C-alpha cells in the first residue's frame, strides 16, 4: 500500500506554497502546529490527502487514540499526516498546508515523499514553521528567526537570520531534501519562553502567522488569535506576580534582553519555575467564574 493516500488531486492552484508544521520536537508551546491549524481554519482549508503512519511512526511514542463515533462504536484514530488545500482568490498564491506529528522513522523516505507531492502539484515554495525554547521573557515581542534559499527573503521580512548548528528535527531534513531537489524553501522559528513551554502559546503562533503573511502574501484574519494572545499574557502576568522568585527571574530575562546589565542573584531553576507557573494556571482554570 502506498503511504500517500489521495482523496482527490487539487487542480489549477496558483503558485502554491506548501506550509508545514509538525507537533513534537520542533513545536515548543504548540506554537507552530497551532499556527498551521489556525491558518487552515481561518481560510477554509479542505483536506485532499493523508500520509499513512504505518512506515513512519513508533506507536508507543505517538499513540493512536480511541474515539466514539456517532453510533457509539469505538474507532481508532491513527496519527496520520494531513494535507489541505487553501484557495485564496484575492492573494497572489494559494496554499497547501501539511500538519501532523514529527515521524519516528525513515525521515529521508518521508521527506522525499513530501518533495514528490510538492513537485506533482506545482509547489513553488516550501515554508516550515517551528518554535524553540529560549531564554526570553514573555513580556517582550516574540522573536522570529529564519532562513531561506533566497537570502533576500530573510532581509525583506526583517528576520534575525538563524546561525544554529547542532541536532535537527524533521524540518531540517525536509529543507535538505528541498535543497537537493532544487525546490525553494524557507523556515520561520519563534522563540518561546522556556519557563512556560508546557502551555499552548498563542502569542508565538500569532508571530509566526504574521511573518508567514509577509512571506507568502496571504492575509489571515487573526482577531481571535490576537485575543487569545492577550489573554495568555494576562494569565502569565498574574502567575508571575503571584511568586516573587518567578518575578525576579522574568525581570532578569528582561534586563538581559535589553542593554542594562542584570544584577547577579540566586534564582530557582527553570524547571521549578515552569512547574509553579503550570500549577498556578491550572488552579485558575479550575476556579469558578466571578
Distance CA 173, CA 26 (A): 12
pLDDT, position 126: 97
Query: What is the distance in angstroms between the CA of the first residue and the CA of the last residue of the chain?
Result: 56
User: Which of 20-34, 70-84, 246-260 reaches the highest mean pLDDT?
Assistant: 20-34
Which architecture does CATH list for 4-221? 3-Layer(aba) Sandwich (3.40)
Distance CA 284, CA 48 (A): 40
Assess whether pLDDT exceeds 70 at residue 276: no
pLDDT, position 266: 43
From the list 129, 123, 121, 107, the residue with the least C-alpha distance to 182 is 123
Distances (CA, A) of 119 to 4, 18, 65, 115, 125: 14, 11, 32, 6, 10
Mean pLDDT of 98-105: 97
β-bridge mates for residue 81, sequence order: 51
What are the residue ranges spanned by the domains of the chain? 4-221, 227-286
Please classify residue 48 by burial: count the beta carbons closer than 10 Å to its beta carbon, then call 0-12 exposed, 13-18 middle and 19+ buried.
Answer: middle
| pTM for the full predicted model | 0.86
CA atoms within 13 A on the CB side of 80: 16
Residue 96: all three cell numbers together: 497547501
Mean pLDDT of 121-134: 96
Mean pLDDT of 211-215: 94
Mean pLDDT of 8-23: 96
Residue partners of 25: CB distance under 8 A and separation at least 6: 102, 169, 170
Residue 158: all three cell numbers together: 526583517
Assess whether pLDDT exceeds 90 at residue 83: yes
Number of H helices, E strands in the chain: 8, 11
Q: How confident is the model at residue 7 (pLDDT cuts 50, 70, 90)?
A: very high
Mean pLDDT of 7-27: 96
> If DSSP codes are grouped into helix, strand and coil, which group holds residue 102?
coil
pLDDT in tens, 180-192: 999 999 999 999 9
Distance CA 89, CA 8 (A): 20
> If DSSP codes are grouped into helix, strand and coil, which group holds residue 209?
helix
Identify which has the larger pLDDT, 157 or 271: 157
Task: At 135, give phi and psi (nearest 5°).
Answer: -85, 70
Amino acid at each position: 500500500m502506498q503511504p500517500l493516500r489521495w482523496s482527490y488531486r487539487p487542480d489549477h492552484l496558483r503558485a502554491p506554497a506548501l506550509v508545514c508544521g509538525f507537533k513534537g520536537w520542533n513545536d515548543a508551546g504548540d506554537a507552530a502546529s497551532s499556527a498551521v491549524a489556525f491558518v487552515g481554519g481561518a481560510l477554509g482549508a479542505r483536506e485532499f490527502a493523508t500520509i499513512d503512519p504505518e512506515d513512519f511512526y513508533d506507536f508507543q511514542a505517538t499513540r493512536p487514540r480511541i474515539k466514539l463515533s456517532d453510533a457509539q462504536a469505538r474507532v481508532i484514530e491513527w496519527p496520520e499526516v494531513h494535507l489541505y488545500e487553501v484557495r485564496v482568490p484575492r492573494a497572489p498564491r494559494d496554499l497547501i498546508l501539511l500538519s501532523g506529528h514529527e515521524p519516528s522513522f525513515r525521515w529521508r523516505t518521508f521527506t522525499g515523499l513530501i518533495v514528490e507531492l510538492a513537485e506533482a502539484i506545482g509547489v513553488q515554495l516550501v515554508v516550515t514553521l517551528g518554535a524553540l525554547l529560549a531564554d526570553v521573557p514573555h513580556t517582550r515581542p516574540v522573536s522570529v528567526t529564519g532562513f531561506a534559499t533566497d537570502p533576500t527573503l530573510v532581509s525583506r521580512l526583517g528576520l534575525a537570520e538563524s546561525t544554529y548548528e547542532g541536532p535537527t528535527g524533521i524540518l531540517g531534513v525536509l529543507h535538505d531534501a528541498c535543497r537537493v531537489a532544487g525546490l525553494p524553501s524557507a523556515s520561520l522559528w519563534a522563540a518561546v519562553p522556556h519557563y512556560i513551554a508546557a502551555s499552548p502559546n498563542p502569542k508565538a503562533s500569532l508571530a509566526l502567522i504574521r511573518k508567514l503573511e509577509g512571506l507568502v502574501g496571504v492575509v489571515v484574519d487573526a482577531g481571535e488569535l490576537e485575543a487569545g494572545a492577550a489573554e495568555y499574557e494576562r494569565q502569565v502576568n498574574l502567575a508571575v506576580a503571584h511568586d516573587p522568585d518567578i518575578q525576579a527571574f522574568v525581570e532578569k530575562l528582561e534586563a538581559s534582553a535589553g542593554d542594562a546589565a542584570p544584577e547577579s542573584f540566586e534564582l530557582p531553576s527553570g524547571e521549578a519555575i515552569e512547574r509553579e507557573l503550570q500549577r498556578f494556571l491550572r488552579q485558575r482554570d479550575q476556579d469558578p467564574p466571578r
